[in-house]
Amino acid sequence: MPEIWRSFAILVLLLSSTTALAAPQWEDLSAEQQAALAPLQERWDALSEHRRERLLQGAERWQSMSPEERQHASERFERWQKMSPEKREKLRERREAYRRLPPEQQEELRERFRRWRALPREERHKLREEYRNREHEGGPPAHRDMFDHRKPCRDRDEDMHDACPEKRPSPPPPN
């Protein structure tokens, strides 16, 4: 019987040491990690292992960013915090839908986004307004079938020019 207790004690020690390695206590963090995670110091030890591991990964990414990338990430985080819970949930659902797409379609969407960002600011504003007006008039949103990879381009909305190369209008002639 004592052998069972000793084995149990060794098992508990091994498990607790693995936990300590996987998700360190605040005192075990490096000075750089503590600086990056300073807002969480008071509640760090109460966070779940999974949460601490994810925060450590984020701190590592933060430390590897340039000052411009850090500024951009800070601004994005502030926008996220200001969003309503409903809007956050909608964005999470869209991200999950994107992750379920085949890699080719993910790349297609990334390319569409690059083209969108390359448009002049005024053009993007104009297109947003047209989209909002179409939604208010009861028309189908332009992105309705964007994530439905089962439909070939020819079966999607007429407004999906960017998603469907065969429906993309010809560019205007150069001046």
Contact 145, 157 (CB under 8 A): yes
pLDDT band at 174 (very low <50, low <70, confident <90, very high): low
The answer to whether 35 touches 60, Cβ cutoff 8 Å, is no
Q: Which are the contacts of 57, defined by CB distance < 8 A and separation ≥ 6?
A: none
More confident residue, 54 or 161: 54
Q: Is residue 118 part of a domain?
A: yes
Output the six-digit token pair for 99. 């992750």
Question: Is 107 a domain residue?
Answer: yes
Q: What is the pLDDT of residue 134?
A: 82
Span 125-173, pLDDT tens digits: 999 998 888 866 665 555 544 444 444 444 444 444 444 444 445 555 5
In a domain, 102, yes or no: yes
Query: Does 122 reside within a domain?
Result: yes
Q: Is residue 132 part of a domain?
A: yes
Amino acid found at 24: P
pLDDT score recorded for residue 97 = 94
More confident residue, 21 or 69: 69
pLDDT surpasses 60 at 64: yes
Whether the per-residue pLDDT at 77 is higher than 60: the answer is yes
Q: Indicate whether 143 belongs to any domain.
A: yes
Q: What is the number of structural domains in the chain?
A: 1
The torsion region of residue 126 among left (phi > 0), alpha (psi -120 to 50) and beta comes to alpha
Handedness of CA 101, 106, 108, 114 (dihedral sign): positive
Q: How far apart are CA 88 and CA 79, in angstroms?
A: 10
Higher pLDDT, 112 or 13: 112
* Dihedral pair phi/psi, residue 147, rounded to 5°: -100, 0
| Torsion of Cα atoms, 111 then 126 then 95 then 39, to 10° | 110
Q: What is the mean pLDDT of the chain?
A: 76
Question: Which residue range forms the structural domain that includes residue 151?
Answer: 78-165
Whether pLDDT at 117 is above 60: yes
Average pLDDT estimate for 19-24: 60
**Average pLDDT, integer, range 73-96:** 92
pLDDT at 124 exceeding the cut of 50: yes
pTM attached to this predicted model: 0.48
In a domain, 3, yes or no: no
